């Protein structure tokens, strides 16, 4: 999940909604690629 919200409660909410990972905007391109690789393992 990618969101503009950056509070820990937002991260917890996203995970409860089924997100495997949670990333804040603006997205770091290398971080996004690494996160995609991690989820696809």
Residue pLDDT, tens place only, 1-41: 999 999 999 999 999 999 999 999 999 999 999 999 999 98
- What is the reported pLDDT for 25? 95
- What is the reported pLDDT for 29? 95
Phi, psi of 13 (to 5 degrees): -60, -45
**DSSP symbol at 23:** E
- What is the reported pLDDT for 7? 96
- Write out the two tokens for 8: 């820990």
- What is the reported pLDDT for 32? 95
Q: Looking up tokens 């804040």, which residue turns up?
A: 24
């Amino acid at each position: 999940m990618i969101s503009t919200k950056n509070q820990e409660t937002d991260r917890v909410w996203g995970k409860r909604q089924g997100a495997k990972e949670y990333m804040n905007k603006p997205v770091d391109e290398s971080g996004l690629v690494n996160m995609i690789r991690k989820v696809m393992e």
